[in-house]
Amino acid sequence: MEKTMSLHPLQILLLEKIPPRLRHLLLPVFEAAGDRVQEIRICQDKPILVQTAAGELYVSPAGPTDRLEEAVIADAGTVKELLDAVTSSSVYALQDAMKEGYVPLPGGHRVGLCGEARTEGGRVAGFRHVTGFNIRLNRDLSGVARPVLRRLVRPDGGIWSTLVVSPPGAGKTTLLRDLIRTLSRGAPEYGLKPQRVGVADERGELAGAFRGVAQNDLGPRADVIDRCPKRFALAMLVRTMSPDVVVTDEIGHPEDAEAALDAVTAGVALVCSAHGATLADVKRRPSLRPLLEHEVFQRVVVLSKREGPGTVERVVPCGGAA
Amino acid sequence: MRGSGVKLLGALLVIGGAAALGHLEAVRREKRARELAAVITALELLESHVVYGQVLLADALRRVGEAQPGAGWAFLRAAERLEEGWPASRALRESFSAWAARSALLESDLAPLVHLAPVLGLSEGGDQARHLRWARSQLEVKLAGARQRLPEVARLCRALGVCGGLILALLLY
């Protein structure tokens, strides 16, 4: 691939995966916007849009532009080519992910899908026609957990059970990912000993696994169970991998909370996330109630987008541990 | 004396050439039947990898290619093209066309495979099974036609070659 020296290796992986016609259109955008590219939206008969940290851009044959009239419109051929490329011409092998509305890519990127869904028994069984894509770039940021780490380390070198609370897009997955990496490696400067970390990655966002292989660096002691319901993955991890800590993303169902509670009662620290702007929001959610009632968490980290994604609003000690 | 010797040599050449043509036609017909059977088996194997194994198309084509001598060449070539980033439909069409040039199949024999190219890999497992079974059923009809009285037809081709050569030699003599 030409002229990619200035790009991040994860961006190069993405560009290698998409069809040549789109690659030539997007390469100048990546060269101009660099690591700020967050999402690329490609929908049939609509202009190709790139979301960056600085705002939205259209894609023109001459490069990025903010003028709609110069924007390239994605035609049916482009959409078919892209579907062919992102699924490696193997839609049948990606049905489980496609039922969830996305396709995983190498490098931990993921492609959200739109179009005509097909249902069976009231549940989404796949897509009859895919007509739109939202390519979400994996940005594996290292060091974002450092500002909160000192408050999360126990005196014995382990970690307090921690809940990360954040509204969508405020960086909780990025923080969890960096926490896993740091826990797995250890951070002597913060008194943190290396931990065996079990990762229940139901949505595949923490490890960014592609065909079972983690694409994100999660350190040497992270064991990942990918795309498995949390309630099963947490139990399997505790039973078979003897973790010091288990990490999972959004606890959304009471069964997930019960499995997390089982893990904690087995003597394993728990780090997980929940959607919400404040701790009060989270306390109102029935799915988290068992964990909060049992005072599972000793620390709560609240994130916001006030100064950009990943702004740490506060780290709250709770559950009797100060 | 010398002239009749040359004539005899010419007659033998004509008979030998015609007999060889008859033999080649018989071999082509036998080879066509074998290749049709091999493609049908390859498609069965492909269905197994795609529908039950959920193996990515490039890997599935490679496995089929490695398991099937002869017809497997086209599947291996398609796998290579897919790995190079070609769209599936183009990779399959190109590979089957390239194989047609070196196989005994007729252009019409390849029609089910050409129809398969734009849909292979681009839908869910059940749909893929239907497409693959349809292609197989079309090829089975062609195979049944190709095998119909194949030994007799092959013998006839060989006999016609020899007889045709003899008649031509007599006419020229």
**Angstrom distances, CA of residue B95 to CA of A25, B46, B56, B73, B79:** 29, 16, 18, 9, 9
A92·B82 Cβ contact <8 A: no
Cα B95 from Cα A177, distance rounded (Å): 44
Q: ipTM greater than 0.95, yes or no? A: no
- pLDDT tens digits for range A164-188: 999 887 888 889 999 999 999 999 9
- Lowest mean pLDDT of A181-195, A222-236, B49-63, B148-162, name the range: B148-162
**Which residues 51-70 in chain B show a CB within 8 A of chain A?**
51, 54-58
Does residue B108 sit at the A interface (CB-CB below 8 Å)? no
Contacts of B87 in chain A (CB under 8 A): 19, 81, 84-85, 89
Does residue B123 sit at the A interface (CB-CB below 8 Å)? yes
| pLDDT band, very low/low/confident/very high, at B48 (cuts 50, 70, 90) | very high
Name the residue in chain A with its Cα closest to that of B125: A92
Q: With pLDDT > 70 as the criterion, what percentage of chain A qualifies? A: 97
Cα B121 from Cα B51, distance rounded (Å): 10
Minimal C-alpha gap between A121 and chain B (Å): 16
The label of the residue with tokens 């292609």 reads B135
Contacts of A104 in chain B (CB under 8 A): none
Of A19, A85, A93, Cβ closest to residue B56 = A93
Coil, strand, or helix at residue A276? coil
Q: Summarize the confidence of residues A240-266 as an average pLDDT.
A: 90
Q: Which residues of A199-211 are buried (b: 16+ CB within 10 A; e: fewer)?
A: bbbbbbbbbbbbe
Residue A237: pLDDT over 90: yes
- Lowest mean pLDDT of A19-23, A99-103, A110-114, A206-210, name the range: A206-210
- pLDDT tens digits for range B121-133: 988 888 999 999 9
Residue A246: pLDDT over 80: yes
Closest among A30, A24, A22, A26 to A6, alpha carbons compared: A30
**Amino acid (1-letter code) at residue B3:** G
Contacts of A83 in chain B (CB under 8 A): 122
Minimal C-alpha gap between B36 and chain A (Å): 25
Cα B25 from Cα B154, distance rounded (Å): 8
Position A88 scores a pLDDT of 92
Residue A322: pLDDT over 50: no
Position A1 scores a pLDDT of 53
Contact by Cβ (8 Å): A145, A179:
yes
Q: Summarize the confidence of residues A94-122 as an average pLDDT.
A: 88
Position A87 scores a pLDDT of 93
Q: Summarize the confidence of residues A202-226 as an average pLDDT.
A: 87
Name the residue in chain A with its Cα closest to that of B78: A89
Minimal C-alpha gap between B18 and chain A (Å): 49
B87·A20 Cβ contact <8 A: no
Cα A268 from Cα A164, distance rounded (Å): 17
Name the residue in chain A with its Cα closest to that of B126: A92
Cα A161 from Cα A154, distance rounded (Å): 10
A92·B58 Cβ contact <8 A: no
Q: Identify the burial level of B120 via C-beta atoms within 10 angstroms of its C-beta, where 0-12 means exposed, 13-18 middle and 19 or more buried.
A: buried
Q: Summarize the confidence of residues A41-51 as an average pLDDT.
A: 95
A95·B123 Cβ contact <8 A: no
Minimal C-alpha gap between A84 and chain B (Å): 6
Minimal C-alpha gap between A124 and chain B (Å): 13
Cα A231 from Cα A290, distance rounded (Å): 14
Residue A72: pLDDT over 80: yes
Residue A4: pLDDT over 70: no
Position B1 scores a pLDDT of 58
**Amino acid (1-letter code) at residue B167:** I
A163 or B7, higher pLDDT: A163
Q: What is the DSSP letter of A153?
A: B
Q: Summarize the confidence of residues B21-48 as an average pLDDT.
A: 89
The label of the residue with tokens 């991890």 reads A237
Name the residue in chain B with its Cα closest to that of A83: B122
Contact by Cβ (8 Å): B54, B126:
no
CB pairs under 8 A between A and B: 54
Position B95 scores a pLDDT of 93
Spell out the domains of chain A, with CATH numbers in brackets: 9-136 (3.30.450), 146-317 (3.40.50.300)
Residue A319: pLDDT over 70: no
Contacts of B58 in chain A (CB under 8 A): 88-90
Closest among A113, A112, A169 to A136, alpha carbons compared: A112
E strand or H helix that includes residue B7: helix B2-47
Cα A61 from Cα A26, distance rounded (Å): 9
Side-chain half-sphere CA neighbours of A319 within 13 A = 14
Does residue B85 sit at the A interface (CB-CB below 8 Å)? yes
Which of B46, B51, B57, B82 to mutate to probe the A interface, most A CBs <10 Å?
A: B57
A216 or A141, higher pLDDT: A216
The label of the residue with tokens 């909370």 reads A257
Cβ-based neighbour number of residue A86 at 10 Å: 25
Position B67 scores a pLDDT of 92
Residue B68: pLDDT over 60: yes
* Close Cβ partners of B163 (under 8 Å, ≥ 6 residues apart): none
Of B85, B87, B124, Cβ closest to residue A91 = B124
Which of B49, B51, B52, B56 to mutate to probe the A interface, most A CBs <10 Å?
A: B56
E strand or H helix that includes residue A248: strand A245-248
Q: For A185-189, which contacts have Cβ atoms below 8 Å and span 24 or more sequence positions?
A: A185/A219, A185/A220, A185/A221, A187/A149, A187/A153
A319 or A87, higher pLDDT: A87
